[in-house]
Amino acid sequence: MFFKQIYEPGLAHASYMVGCQKTGECLVIDAKRDIDTYIDIARQERLRITHLAETHIHADFLSGTRELADVTGAMMYLSNEGGAEWQYEFDHVSLTDGDTFMVGNIKIETMHTPGHTPEHISFLVTDTPAAADVPIMIFTGDFVFVGDVGRPDLLEKAAGLVGTMEVGARQMWKSLARFKALPDHIQVHPAHGAGSACGKALGAIPSSTVGYEKLVNWALRHTSEDAFVAELLSGQPEPPSYFAMMKKLNKVERPLLDSVPSPKRLTLGELRDILTSNRHVIDTRSKVSFAGGHIPGTINIQNNKAFSTWAGWVLNYDEPFALITDEENLDDVVRKLMRIGLDGVAGYYPNVTDWQDAGHELEEVPQIHLDDLVAHHADGSLSVVDVRATSEYDAGHIPGAMHLHAGYLQGRTNEIPRDTPVVISCQAGDRSSIAISILQREGFTNVVNFPQGFAGWNAAGAPVSKERSA
């Protein structure tokens, strides 16, 4: 039996390949969209990708299962659970609870595990030549994570399906009862790890076992359904705005992208036209480089692990956009965008120096450092806007700071004062760089960045509040 996890750290997403080396057949579960990874691995292992499966209609990434089916001819095995509104709208083999299929000599059994979503299924895997009736592992998707379980509130918070949170939480309680009945030895392989917005306490270890999760996973240790539901629904992070689009695109027919695109290099005139038309231009350089000088009107989303998520917060799916990135990082950036279906790259520009050399001015990001902020905060001469998540803000913030999550900022810039100095703060300067670049794009001239963030403020022993500002 061949087994491999493919982990994409930008979305904390794990997909899997399970193959039968005797027959050469291989199954891919919860594929990412840049499918060359799987094709290369299959070639190296002398396997044919013959089966494709998904645990559910994903919200945080655009599945590559359709692309793999198109390229390889493999059959898609997808859930038929959850009711009519949770059915995939393209040809596939439908699976319900208890259904099985074979990948060579490997048996795959379907287990309906609703809670995160109504149609969610997990896959029990048995290596029949080794032990015909003893499953070795379960692929749990967004059902059971290492140390956590899938959040049931996304359908309501991200997709607008009112009244689904508590229903999902109670479905999760019942699904967990089935999970706890499984043998302790079974390996647990989830679709996400630490850093994913699909839960609130995901562990960084890539896999676990049923027995270990029963001992340490907070959700599996509850004995009261009502207490479990209350804890599950509390403290979940804000779902990125692009999640609603993923729910749609992963369910319906859509254009396929069978290879990684190669965007064109823009001329200076083309870049100027994009900026003049008020379309988004994303500067992927570091926050330090961006602060030192950037093309006016561009938004800073650093090319790091959080790039995909923040691009999904900021960009529109129906509007072409451009990138500031060098050729060395272009493929990496484009992959991160295509993984969440942001295919509208109009082109890229490799630097900001050519813009400056052509006679155009660069804009800087004003900075305020800890000592100055402490002094001016005490005399009340400035306002502070905290752009972190709600849970972070509630755990402690600069006294009097207004809370406005950076992901919601583009639609709420009218709430930011324009006539007094405003300090933008996050935890350590990454999100505040995104936020301040959005505000500069909207014409704010009174905003300054606090690069040390709340982490620096707190470490210095400055006063901390847990009260929400009015």
Same domain, 353 and 380: no
**pTM for the full predicted model:** 0.95
Query: What are 326-378's pLDDT values in tens digits?
Result: 999 999 999 999 999 999 999 999 999 999 999 999 999 999 999 999 999 88
Query: What are 224-262's pLDDT values in tens digits?
Result: 999 999 999 999 999 999 999 999 999 999 999 999 999
The arithmetic mean of pLDDT across residues 193-200, rounded, is 90
- Residue 141: the pLDDT is 98
Same domain, 84 and 179: yes
Contact 109, 136 (CB under 8 A): no
CATH number at residue 273: 3.40.250.10
Residue 207 lies in a domain: yes
The arithmetic mean of pLDDT across residues 287-302, rounded, is 98
CATH number at residue 104: 3.60.15.10
Number of domains in the chain: 3
Residue 352 lies in a domain: yes
pLDDT beyond 90 at 441:
yes
Q: How many helices (H) and strands (E) does the chain have?
A: 16, 20
Residue 426 lies in a domain: yes
Residue 96 lies in a domain: yes
Same domain, 116 and 189: yes
Same domain, 69 and 29: yes
Q: How far apart are the first and last CA of the chain?
A: 59
Same domain, 344 and 377: no
Query: What are 163-176's pLDDT values in tens digits?
Result: 899 999 999 999 99
Q: How many CB atoms lie within 10 A of CB 238?
A: 16
Structure-model confidence comparison of residues 154 and 432, the more confident one: 432
Same domain, 48 and 143: yes
Residue 371: closest CA among 309, 292, 462: 462
- Last residue of one domain, picked from the residues 186, 219, 249: 249
311 vs 338: CA distance, rounded Å: 11
The arithmetic mean of pLDDT across residues 272-277, rounded, is 96
Confidence of residue 470 (pLDDT cuts 50, 70, 90): low
Same domain, 330 and 384: no
Residue 263 lies in a domain: no
Same domain, 322 and 397: no
Q: What is the mean pLDDT of the chain?
A: 96
Same domain, 287 and 148: no
Contact 146, 208 (CB under 8 A): yes
Which distant-in-sequence residues (6+ apart) come within 8 Å of 328 by Cβ?
none
Domain that holds residue 335: 268-357
Same domain, 174 and 299: no
126 vs 138: CA distance, rounded Å: 9
pLDDT beyond 80 at 15:
yes
282 vs 322: CA distance, rounded Å: 6
Residue 257 lies in a domain: no
Phi, psi (rounded to 5 degrees) for 392 = -70, -45
- Last residue of one domain, picked from the residues 295, 323, 357: 357
According to DSSP, the residues that pair with 20 across neighbouring strands are 25
Confidence of residue 158 (pLDDT cuts 50, 70, 90): confident
Which distant-in-sequence residues (6+ apart) come within 8 Å of 148 by Cβ?
199, 200, 201, 202, 203, 217, 218, 219
Residue 464 lies in a domain: no
Same domain, 221 and 292: no
Same domain, 199 and 114: yes
Residue 422 lies in a domain: yes
Confidence of residue 311 (pLDDT cuts 50, 70, 90): very high
The arithmetic mean of pLDDT across residues 102-126, rounded, is 98
